[in-house]
Structure 1
Amino acid sequence: MNGEIRKMILGHHHISMYTRNAGSNNHFYNEILGLRRVKVSVNQDDPTMYHLFYGDLIGSPGTELSFFEIPTIGSTHRGTNAITQIGLLVPSFESLLYWKERLSQFNVKHGEITTYAGHDALHFEDPEGLRLVLLNNNGRSIPDEWQAWTDSVVPEENRILGMGSIEITVRSLDSISKMLENIFNYTNVLRTEKEAIYQAVNGEVFGEIVIKQLDGPRERPGKGSIHHLAIRVEGTDLQKWDNKIKAAGYRSTGVVDRYYFNSIYFRDENRVMFEIVSDGPGFTADSTVAELGTKLDLPPFLEDRRAEIEANLIPIEEWKS
């Protein structure tokens, strides 16, 4: 069974964050970064809060940035044992020049063009302090299923393609390294005393994880912090993954039906949250491609509570910064 599982890691599926303000969040990711808002739903465990997804044309796995909206959430107190940065791939070095100018135009906090994990890079932060970095994909392949959103405000030659290197900062580099290698069979492409780089698909950035060792207080989450990274696996049978996680000594939620996909959640020894996700049916399960992101979609088990749920949500377009 282990050999069968080891061939089935496909890269990142999505990554989930906290936001205080759904309106400004939508403005930034849709109107400044040029990502499509592909799903407006709610947190299935707490339907009083929005769950927003951004990505490519259909929110293909590996392009999805998702946000839980919590109006009362405080600020992030940065620290260790947390997912600390999101890499986003752009086509070329010229794209980084375009983005440096665009971020300046919109007064977005950013640095100079530099390098990160061996890639040309431009670091920046969203309005709530979430750390992101644009990475030059430099002609490398991307998953065949990624589909460009042609209505983006960003020109085609400079659009964000999908997710790249995800940074995780931990006290114990060894323990998370063993987990990525032994459970998921990530390939280690760099290892020093304080850093390790792992790839889901050897040589490809779209499934890359950068681990940095840092002692000190654990991060206290707030607006702009990252809740979990979802790892994309092939097939729809997650039970064997649940068995493997538990056999390795980790506690998991078991398989959870999220309607748009199935999931398993668990924490590593550093208490960093991971999700294992199978493909399908995806966000078009209850919307046409044209309708994606234009209305509140609820999974079937919440549909009979629609009136109650809608009454407790402020329409995104009415949110003020």
Structure 2
Amino acid sequence: MIKGIHHVSALTKSFSENHHFYSEILGLRLVKNTVNQDNIHMRHLFYGDYIGSPGTLLTFFEVPRIGSSYDERAFFGNITLGIPKDTSTYWEKRLNDFAISFHKEGKTLTLHDPDTMGIILTEIPETIASPTIHTDIPAEKQIVRIIGADYHVPNPAATSQFFTDFFGLEQQNGVLVDKNQVSFAKLYKTSSDKKSRTGRGTIDHIAYTLETKEAVDKLHDLAVRNELKIEEFVDREYFKSLYIREPSGLRIEFASAGPGFTIDEPLETMGDKLALPSFLEEKRTEIETYFGGDL
């Protein structure tokens, strides 16, 4: 049912710093420049491969006055991105050239973005399917996709059962993987009773891919029957989304693979201007006025 990670959404303090890091340093394309559909006064940025494929998407909500995060009882940890085989040396040099601190272990590089979100770059036997063209990074060395995420929870067994019982993930050597082994989730036990504090660099949710909107509907029916903690069930137009809280309270989204980001923008100019789903078009003037045209 699940076909790997669809996207990861986190909080950023500064669009300019965020864009410099993800677009200019990591080479991802800004494929959708929009707003939080639940809070139109908050920017929402989507980075990915050239066409914005599910599985390549790192998204950020901009909160200029956000404070520091505190990881306690439950939180998402590092996100692992796949880079092509034999490119870790290239990436090591690139990070050094941009004065980005990192830790190297074998062919794996661990670093932090400007908001302190943890990122792991590790080699996989793949290359990117839709290379970006705005960057100086050669296509054969570009980041391929998201391959994994770390969960820090008080009861890893309960979180594991949540994914295996209802969503078809499998446990292999203590790691959760989807049946096609497209992505993984590593579970770590926490010991704090304090609630985690959301701040810059906090991952708000992790989304997993379902093939169609109809598949999301079926999953919603399953969640209702099993009395899972459904937070939201909504059609974002770019994809349909079901949000469910896993046992420790972390927000998990299940999103359809399509129709994608070209429904309201030409592929060649995606991300260049403010894009809004049809149900927010009537508020375009209000949104543009609020941001003073800086979108």
Q: TM-score, normalising length from structure 2?
A: 0.94
- Given that residues 181 and 187 in structure 1 are in contact (C-alpha distance below 8 angstroms), is that contact kept between their aligned partners in structure 2? yes
The match for 2:67 among 74, 78, 85 is 74
Distance in 2, matches of 1:218 and 1:108, equals 31
Q: 1:102 to 1:316 in 2, by over 3 A?
A: farther
Distance in 1, matches of 2:136 and 2:222, equals 44
> How far 1:148 sits from its partner (Å)?
1.7
- Give the AA of the match of 2:268: A
| TM-align CA RMSD | 1.7
- Give the AA of the match of 2:282: D
> How far 1:153 sits from its partner (Å)?
2.4
> Is 1:113 matched with 2:89?
no
Secondary structure at 1:73's aligned position in 2? coil
Secondary structure at 2:70's aligned position in 1? coil
Aligned residue in 2 for 1:230: 207
- Given that residues 34 and 43 in structure 2 are in contact (C-alpha distance below 8 angstroms), is that contact kept between their aligned partners in structure 1? yes
Distance in 2, matches of 1:78 and 1:44, equals 26
Q: 1:315 to 1:215 in 2, by over 3 A?
A: farther
- Given that residues 29 and 35 in structure 1 are in contact (C-alpha distance below 8 angstroms), is that contact kept between their aligned partners in structure 2? yes
Distance in 2, matches of 1:141 and 1:154, equals 13
Residues 247-275 of structure 1: CA deviation (Å, up to 9, x unaligned): 33312145301010110111011001000
> How far 1:76 sits from its partner (Å)?
1.1
Q: TM-score, normalising length from structure 1?
A: 0.87
Residues 54-90 of structure 1: CA deviation (Å, up to 9, x unaligned): 0001110000000000111111112341111111110
- Given that residues 88 and 164 in structure 1 are in contact (C-alpha distance below 8 angstroms), is that contact kept between their aligned partners in structure 2? yes
Gaps of 5+ in 1: 1-7, 115-119, 192-196
Q: 1:288 to 1:278 in 2, by over 3 A?
A: same
Distance in 2, matches of 1:140 and 1:213, equals 31
The match for 1:59 among 52, 56, 66 is 52
> Is 1:127 matched with 2:127?
no
Aligned residue in 2 for 1:159: 142
- Given that residues 49 and 313 in structure 1 are in contact (C-alpha distance below 8 angstroms), is that contact kept between their aligned partners in structure 2? no
Distance in 2, matches of 1:316 and 1:222, equals 23
> How far 1:104 sits from its partner (Å)?
1.7
Aligned residue in 1 for 2:184: 208
Tell me the number of residue pairs that the alignment of Structure 1 and Structure 2 aligns: 293
Distance in 2, matches of 1:182 and 1:160, equals 32
Q: 1:184 to 1:88 in 2, by over 3 A?
A: same
Map 1:284-299 → 2, pairs under 5 A:
284-299=262-277
- Given that residues 44 and 59 in structure 2 are in contact (C-alpha distance below 8 angstroms), is that contact kept between their aligned partners in structure 1? yes
- Give the AA of the match of 1:185: G
Gaps of 5+ in 2: none
- Given that residues 127 and 140 in structure 2 are in contact (C-alpha distance below 8 angstroms), is that contact kept between their aligned partners in structure 1? no
Secondary structure at 2:58's aligned position in 1? strand
Segments of 4+ moved more than 2 angstroms: 150-153, 246-249, 314-317
